[in-house]
Amino acid sequence: MAYTVLIPARLASTRLPNKPLVDIGGLPMVVRVAQRVKTGLSPDVRIVVAADDASILAACQNHGIECLLTRTDHPSGSDRLAEACTLLNLADEDIVVNVQGDEPLIDTTLISAVADLLQTHPVATMGTAAHAIHDLADFVNPNVVKVVTDAAGLAMYFSRAPIAWWRDGFAQGVHTLPSPAPLRHIGIYSYRVGFLRSFPGLQQAPVEITEALEQLRAMWHGHRIAVHITPDAPGPGVDTPEDLERVRRLIQSD
């Protein structure tokens, strides 16, 4: 299946300055991400970095990575992706997959699986992924987003709270995981381009503001999100200097 992978890259980062350009094994991180995606997917898949700064554009061009320059004032990554779709003249029925530019260890089979969701679930306008939680600390951590799905593999709700929740099981506190295992959301998305173009104009959902989860806006407006369940947890991303050193060690030892 032909689709486009969009890799948004924003230079400003409070926790890790110039994050897309930090060196990992001799390459700028955003270039390493794009190269990993390119080598792991079909030649039919187009890979494009959507940058907000000329320095990112230059780094990509120096390594043969397609890149386009987007505005610097986008309030969210979805807005940047929507502009990229317009700049690339993508049709409304086309499919794009959003791969974050700070995921140099991303599993490319996950990208394909999330793209395929929109063919196997025609009712869905978005696709994403999840894996089973086996660690109690992750289940109760508000920074770990959880998702509950229906029988068709469509998301029913995303939350920072521990869901699904036993009616009586946690009366004395959370000491064990429910069964079946709860699902941890993985932050990779596929979109139908027509929906992605309309998304920035949708009214924010009250529950989106409460949970600080942008995907709840789509669900609040009646859109469906298909969920691929993978058996494996994703590789670590890079948000902090500590993350960067960890990923450098992993890539060096690979």
Mean pLDDT, residues 6-35 taken together: 91
Kindly tell me if the per-residue pLDDT of 172 is higher than 80. no
Structure tokens at 230: 């993978």
Kindly tell me if the per-residue pLDDT of 229 is higher than 90. yes
Q: Computed over its alpha carbons, how large is the radius of gyration of the chain? A: 18
How far from 18 is each of 65, 102, 106, 247, CA to CA, in Å? 18, 11, 20, 16
Structure tokens at 196: 């992605």
| Residue 9 belongs to domain spanning | 1-103
All residues at 6 or more sequence positions from 179 whose CB lies less than 8 Å from its CB, including other chains:
none
Residue 252: enclosing H or E segment and its boundaries?
Answer: helix 241-253
Mean pLDDT, residues 230-235 taken together: 89
Higher per-residue confidence, 176 vs 81 = 81
Query: Are 5 and 54 found together in one domain?
Result: yes
Q: What is the pTM of this model?
A: 0.92
Q: Which of 103, 128, 154 is the last residue of a domain?
A: 103
Mean pLDDT, residues 133-141 taken together: 92
Average pLDDT, the chain: 92
Q: Which of 76, 103, 130 is the last residue of a domain?
A: 103
Q: Which of 77, 103, 129 is the last residue of a domain?
A: 103
Whether residue 8 contacts residue 101, with contact meaning beta carbons closer than 8 Å, is answered with yes
Question: Does any domain span residue 249?
Answer: no
Strands 46-51 and 27-28, bridge-based pairing: unpaired
26 falls in which pLDDT band (50, 70, 90)?
very high
All residues at 6 or more sequence positions from 146 whose CB lies less than 8 Å from its CB, including other chains:
133, 139, 158, 159, 160, 161, 162, 163, 182, 183, 184, 185
Query: Are 210 and 170 found together in one domain?
Result: yes
Query: Are 116 and 148 found together in one domain?
Result: yes
The closest alpha carbon to 147, from 168, 132, 135, belongs to 132
Write down the pLDDT at residue 5.
97
